[in-house]
Amino acid sequence: MNYKSVQIRKGKEQSLLRKHPWVFSGAIFSDVSNIKDGEIVIVEDFKGRFLAVGHFQHATISVRVLSFEECKIDQTFFDKAINNAVQLRLNLGLLSESNNVFRICHGEGDNLPGLIIDFYNGAAVIQCHSIGMYESIDLITTALKGSLGNKLISVYSKSSDTLPERILSKDEYLFSSCETPHLAKENNVDYQIDWINGQKTGFFIDQRENRALLGKYSFGKKVLNTFCYSGGFSLQALNQHAKLVHSLDSSKKAIDLTEANLAINNFSGQHTSIVADAMEYMKELKEDYDIIVLDPPAFAKHRDKRHKAIQGYKRLNAHAIRQIKSGGLIFTFSCSQVVDKYLFTNTIIAAAIEAGRNVRILEQLHQPADHPINAFHPEGEYLKGLVIQVD
Ligand code: SAH
């Protein structure tokens, strides 16, 4: 192996010895000026002993570790890692008659830091968060073809939003092409997925199990689904015979996606769409809802925004708790990685105190199994939620 090496300060090897997959720029003492963004490097301790191999980038996270054993990062490496990831999802039963939407690769959770791959009924959408992964995209595509065989109909790369601007990345098909929107199925409900014009890779797959749980509680109920995007929660509620569903999003484009999904499932009759700011709308509700879903975008992306985010979650939840009908349920979520589940729970408790009502926690929710958390990288835990009953 003739990879360049970076050396890290004495003491800074500890986290790598515990298999944490990131090396921060401050930990490195060797000169890295001759190393290019995306290059594969060997990480060594201050005595020159091997610690790991990974992708280098001139950024706060300087190295994302691909292996803690000496190995070449080549086609064989990606074939094995992608196949492991695919097999896990197949073992979880995520490709079936009733479901063909799942995440194939969840970055550090699949020992491939910087790489997200989502699967929509045969179409794979790749999103790279590191330059090294972006430069490996042909190896990744070949590995997907090898592992999925005829289950794969196309591969699209969508990384221009997630890579630094200095990289001229192109969003494009890498294998075959697929007309969008593309029909896919989550828990027996059809969805039209558009990765080209939609947010992220086109759909929020991480709420699949929580949407199914909402379905379980929805029979005969009046449901308000705020921050609905393409209507995932609304459709699962309607599929389980909710009495009526109101879906709200501030984006007209999102509401159009919701309506298209309602139409293909013949659910439009029991449904009303609302284009509005959720925080404003929640101040005074016009309907007596049995169930309210609160699934806002990440209010805090960085630690320094955490305090403000907490105030936002508290206000939003206090509005819902104050107005929901007695015995009603609130499905409340946060996908801010910097707000952990304990802080989130305490925020909901504070909202209940502010609203002056008794609240019980019925369910504690989290990201699904196809978004695994690497045990040595606790930062991978980001989605948390509660189902609360307001007495
Ligand atoms: N619950 C969705 C995913 C939510 S993504 C699902 O299951 O697929 C967050 C959504 O919140 C986006 O669609 C975005 O347009 C919307 N949004 C962001 N700010 C908002 C606001 N202030 N009021 C209402 N919707 C908002």
Question: Ligand 1 pocket check: which of 213, 227, 332, 334 to mutate, most ligand atoms within 8 Å of Cβ?
Answer: 227
More confident residue, 1 or 285: 285
Q: pLDDT band at 32, cuts 50/70/90? A: very high
Compute, in angstroms, the gap from residue 183 CA to the centroid of ligand 1: 22
Residue 197 alpha carbon to ligand 1 centre in Å: 16
Average pLDDT over residues 271-289: 97
Q: Output the pLDDT for position 226.
A: 98
pTM of this prediction exceeds 0.95: yes
Q: Which residues pair with 102 in a beta bridge?
A: 119
Q: Check pLDDT > 80 for residue 1.
A: no
| Position 220 pLDDT exceeds 80 | yes
pLDDT reported for residue 135: 97
Q: Please give the single-letter amino acid code of residue 195.
A: W
Mutate to test the pocket of ligand 1, among 118, 187, 229 (most ligand atoms within 8 A of CB): 229
Contact 64, 27 (CB under 8 A): no
pLDDT of 304 reads 87
Instruction: Kindly list the domain boundaries of the chain, sorted by start residue.
Output: 4-67, 75-187, 204-390
Residue 230 near ligand 1, beta carbon < 6 Å: yes
Tell me, what's the pLDDT at 359? Answer: 98
Q: Per residue in 80-128, pLDDT tens?
A: 999 999 999 999 999 999 999 999 999 999 999 999 999 999 999 999 9
pLDDT exceeds 80 at position 132:
yes
Output the pLDDT for position 332. 98
* pLDDT score, position 323: 98
User: For strand 101-106 and strand 61-67, is the pairing parallel, antiparallel, or unpaired?
Assistant: unpaired
* pLDDT band for position 168 (cuts 50, 70, 90): confident
SS3 label, residue 388: strand
Do 204-390 and 75-187 fall under one CATH topology? no
Residue 205 is encoded by which pair of tokens? 């797959």
Look at residue 275 in the predicted model and tell me its pLDDT: 98
Task: State which ligand 1 atom lies nearest to the alpha carbon of 249.
Answer: 25
pLDDT for 319 equals 98
Using the Cα atoms of residue 266, residue 120, residue 156 and residue 296 in order, give the sign of their dihedral: positive
Share above pLDDT 90 across residues of the chain, in percent, rounded to a whole number: 96
Encoding tokens for residue 8? 């890290």
For residues 53 and 187, give the distance between their C-alpha atoms in angstroms, rounded to a whole number: 39
Best residue for ligand 1 mutational test, from 103, 250, 253 (most atoms within 8 Å of Cβ): 250
Please write down the long-range contacts of 240-245, taking CB distance under 8 Å and 24 or more positions apart.
240/215, 240/216, 242/218, 242/270, 242/291, 243/270, 244/270, 244/271, 244/272, 245/270, 245/271, 245/272
Q: How many CB atoms lie within 10 A of CB 80?
A: 13
Is 295 a pocket residue for ligand 1 (Cβ < 6 Å)?
yes
Pocket probe for ligand 1: among 197, 214, 249, the residue whose CB has the most ligand atoms within 8 Å is: 249
Question: Is-contact 140 159, C-beta < 8 A?
Answer: no
pLDDT over 90 (residue 201): yes
Helix 75-91 crosses helix 137-148 at what angle (to 10 degrees)? 50
Which ligand 1 atom sits closest to the C-alpha of 207?
7
Give the position of tokens 């999102």: 254
Q: Tell how strand 40-44 and strand 359-366 pair up.
A: unpaired
**Nearest-angstrom CA–CA distance, 251 and 209:** 24
DSSP 317-374: HHHHHHHSPTTEEEEEEE--TTS-HHHHHHHHHHHHHHHT--EEEEEEEE--TTS---
Task: Please count the CA atoms within 13 angstroms of the CA of 287 that sit on its side-chain side.
Answer: 17
Residue nearest to atom 21 of ligand 1 (CA): 277
Band of pLDDT at residue 23, cut at 50, 70 and 90: very high
Architecture of domain 75-187: 2-Layer Sandwich (3.30)
For residue 340, the CA-to-ligand 1 centroid distance in Å is: 20
The helix/strand/coil state of 171 is: coil
The pLDDT of 28-56, averaged and rounded, is 98
- Answer yes or no: is the C-beta of 331 below 6 A from any ligand 1 atom: no
Distance 373 CA to ligand 1 centre (A): 24
In the structure, what pLDDT confidence band is assigned to residue 230 with cuts at 50, 70 and 90? very high
Mention every residue, 6+ apart, whose C-beta is less than 8 A from residue 74: 139
CATH code given to domain 4-67: 2.30.130.10
Q: Does domain 204-390 have CATH number 1.10.10.10?
A: no
Q: How many CB atoms lie within 10 A of CB 24?
A: 14
- pLDDT single digits (tens) 296-326: 999 888 888 899 999 999 999 999 999 999 9
In sequence order, which residues have a C-beta less than 8 Å from that of residue 23 and are 6 or more positions away? Answer: 6, 8, 12, 16, 43, 52, 54, 61, 62, 63, 65
By the 8 A CB rule, do 75 and 87 touch?
no
Distance, in Å, from the CA atom of 117 to the CA atom of 218, rounded to the nearest integer, reads: 31
CA distance 116 to 149: 19
CA 293–ligand 1 middle distance (angstroms):
11
- 273 token code pair: 């769409």
Q: What are the tens digits of pLDDT across the range 323-364?
A: 999 999 999 999 999 999 999 999 999 999 999 999 999 999
